[in-house]
Amino acid sequence: MYTFNDLIFYDVGISETRLQAKLSFSNGYMLSVVPEYSDPHKYEAAIFIINPKTLDYKMLGDLNGDVFRNKNKDEITKLLNEVSLFDNNAFSTCENLTGLVFYHNWGYEQTNVDFYQVLRATEKSVWLRELETNKIYEGQKSMVGKITPRKDHIKSNPPIRMLYRSNNELGSYKKGLWLSLWDGSPKRFSDYA
């Protein structure tokens, strides 16, 4: 059971040394929390994951968003105990994942969406290949629209190996890449650049 006082308050990118990281990340995960600029009683949180062998750590961008933004102490504590990220058994078996599609949103000035299909799975790992996509723009000169994967239409990129999480996510420490299970609905994209 986690409480608000268990959270770690600092900027990982600036103040952490490898020794501090090893101690702080002994369970493989950390939630860093800072007060909101506009309201000192509200908080923003960032989730970091560490590779226990190399002590390299990365922020899990996909899990930040609104899930941990603008919350009070009780809300943060409640979330902390609901999210399976903080379960020591978060990485579980990945049965029956072959053929399923996962996706990843990324980009700075535009929103890119990549889709991947599971080719094979073992107890804790999956191998995926990136899929071709269909894009439907919102208008004739629009640069935004909806994107869907073309299942079984594999791109020529080499397969990637990832670990399965119990909350329907796939992750790779090495690539810093986290994928979510696709729910079948079109995803929004933009291609301004």
Residue spans per domain, the chain: 4-86, 101-190
pLDDT at 121: 83
Q: How far is CA 90 from the centre of its chain?
A: 13
The rounded distance, in Å, linking the Cα atoms of 10 and 3 is 17
Q: Which two tokens stand for residue 21?
A: 């990281």
The rounded distance, in Å, linking the Cα atoms of 105 and 125 is 21
Other beta carbons less than 10 A from residue 54's beta carbon? 10
Per-residue pLDDT of the chain (193 residues; tens, 9 = 90+): 444 444 443 333 333 344 444 444 444 455 555 555 566 565 555 555 555 555 455 554 434 344 445 556 566 556 555 544 433 343 345 657 888 899 999 888 889 999 999 988 887 788 899 999 999 998 888 889 999 999 999 998 888 888 876 667 787 766 677 888 888 899 999 987 5
Other beta carbons less than 10 A from residue 8's beta carbon? 14
